């Protein structure tokens, strides 16, 4: 039985970057992965995989049976499948029960189903996260992000999600630079959410592609480490 991993956080914190790279990292660990762009109306995951010209159907088409599951899937590699978000409706307009049945069914087929969520914390979203086995909250080291992380963790706890973790993103590894507007340890203390990964600020990432195999990327290893930790391996956190 697979695991549903939802990736949430403030707009611009790095949800899409983490979702796409983490999914790719899982595929490198030989896991069967399905990644779904749930940022309805603002899809971006396709760009990171470079498949923007291949999209015909989206996840809402699958839920509404406008197409088959296979019609909507874009294969990124042998182990990694991707389904895009619709552009013409908002996430709140998705059918809650159909989505639940879909995830329950696909958990039989995939080791991991990664959902790249929208930034808006709506009533629908706070109910939807109940279907997550693990909630990853992506945050950069500033007070606004700390507040969003705390709020999402609150909703995650309310929804009884057992594993709620923090991915600290865009951390400066240059010891002469500050880590962010607030120090990484202060950020962890403020949010009170258990960290599962630290991703350095990386110019290679800003170019907008998958960096896991890119030797020039200082972030690639972080995504692999997060995948390993989720998969139960003990991997120490990056020391910054």
- DSSP, collapsed to helix, strand or coil, labels residue 158 as helix
Among 10, 13, 16, 18, binds Mg ion (CB under 5 A): 16
Shortest Å distance, C-beta 22 to ligand ADP = 11
Shortest Å distance, C-beta 199 to ligand ADP = 4
Which of Mg ion, ligand ADP, none does 206 bind, CB closer than 5 to 8 A by kind? ligand ADP
Task: Report whether 140 contacts 170 (CB < 8 A).
Answer: yes
- Dihedral of the alpha carbons of 111, 115, 116, 117, in degrees to the nearest 10: -160
Instruction: CB nearer to ligand ADP: give 2 or 200.
Output: 200
Distance from C-alpha of 170 to C-alpha of 180, rounded to nearest angstrom:
8
CA atoms within 13 A on the CB side of 15: 29
Which of ligand ADP, Mg ion, none does 202 bind, CB closer than 5 to 8 A by kind? ligand ADP
Instruction: CB nearer to ligand ADP: give 110 or 201.
Output: 201
How would you label 181-220 residue by residue, b for 16+ Cβ within 10 Å and e otherwise? ebebeebbebbebebbbbbbbbeebeeeebbbeeeebbbb
Query: Which residue's CB atom is positioned nearest to Mg ion?
Result: 16
Tokens of 198: 């630290």
Tokens of 182: 């607030």
Footprint on this chain of ligand ADP (rule: CB under 6 A): 9, 11-17, 44, 169-170, 199, 201-202, 205-206, 208, 219
Shortest Å distance, C-beta 48 to Mg ion = 9
Number of residues that bind Mg ion (CB under 5 A): 4
Continuous segment of H or E residues that includes residue 148: helix 143-158
Instruction: CB nearer to ligand ADP: give 60 or 169.
Output: 169
Q: Taking CB under 5 A as the rule, which mask of x and - marks residues 36-75 in contact with Mg ion?
A: ---x----x-------------------------------
Instruction: CB nearer to ligand ADP: give 44 or 103.
Output: 44
């Amino acid at each position: 039985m697979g695991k549903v991993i939802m990736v949430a956080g403030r707009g611009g914190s790095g949800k899409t970057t983490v979702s796409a790279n983490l999914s790719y990292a899982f595929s490198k660990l030989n896991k069967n992965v399905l990644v779904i762009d749930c940022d309805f109306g603002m899809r971006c995951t396709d760009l990171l995989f470079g498949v923007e010209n291949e999209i015909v159907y989206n996840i809402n088409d699958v839920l509404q049976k406008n197409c088959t599951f296979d019609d909507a899937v874009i294969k990124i590699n042998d182990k990694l499948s991707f389904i895009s978000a619709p552009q013409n409706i908002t996430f709140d307009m998705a059918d809650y029960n159909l989505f639940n049945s879909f995830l329950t069914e696909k958990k039989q087929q995939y080791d991991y189903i990664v959902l790249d969520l929208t930034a808006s914390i709506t009533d629908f979203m706070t109910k939807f996260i109940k279907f997550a086995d693990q909630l990853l909250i992506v945050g950069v080291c500033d007070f606004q992000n700390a507040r969003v992380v705390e709020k999402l963790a609150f909703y995650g706890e309310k929804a009884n999600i057992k594993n709620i973790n923090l991915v600290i993103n865009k951390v400066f590894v240059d010891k002469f630079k500050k880590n962010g507007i607030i120090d990484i340890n202060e950020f962890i203390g403020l949010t009170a959410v258990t960290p599962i990964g630290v991703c350095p600020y990386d110019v290679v990432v800003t170019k907008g592609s998958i960096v896991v195999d890119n030797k020039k990327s200082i972030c690639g290893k972080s995504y692999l480490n997060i995948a390993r930790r989720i998969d139960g391996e003990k991997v120490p956190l990056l020391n910054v």
